[in-house]
Amino acid sequence: MQFTKAEEYGLLGILYLADKDQNIITPLSEISQAQEIPEKFLAKIFQSLSRSGLVRSHRGVRGGFTLGKKPEEITIKEILESIQGPYHLLKCIPEPVLCGKSEFCALRELLVVAENKLISVFAEHTLADIARWQAKKSVAQ
């Protein structure tokens, strides 16, 4: 399993916002530059995050983004699903009819267990958690 670039960039972008004063609007160009993410790609990702209410878009000359909720209220699962939709390790997990082998496939059974555990971890951890972990890493360097 590997995150897509959109998921990775989305997590990095929203993590950058979590570290900012929530009353200050941060321009997309600043986030893009600080996290070394192509601005146009980040803009598309942030549209998804904005539609789901995880970030707020502020228009105008001094426009940009703020978090839509407190970091401790935003789960990693919400972020990932906002960017890519529901998280599945195989296409046949949510729709067994996509595979003629799903009724007797032991691999599918194993991956259902793995997927449930992975999603549980994403649901249990918040943006505040990874912001704290990031802060610890920054202090250690």
Provide the residue ranges of all domains of the chain, joining segments of one domain with +: 5-140
Quick: pLDDT tens for 6-27: 999 999 999 999 999 888 999 9
Q: CB-based contacts of 111: which residues, under 8 Å, 6+ apart? A: 89, 90, 93
Name the pTM for this structure.
0.86
User: What letter does residue 32 receive in the DSSP assignment?
Assistant: H
Show the low-confidence residues of the chain (pLDDT under 70): 1, 97-98, 100-104, 140-141
Q: Cα torsion at 5, 12, 80, 103 (round to 10°)?
A: 50
CATH class of 5-140: mainly alpha
Q: Are 78 and 122 in contact (CB under 8 A)?
A: no
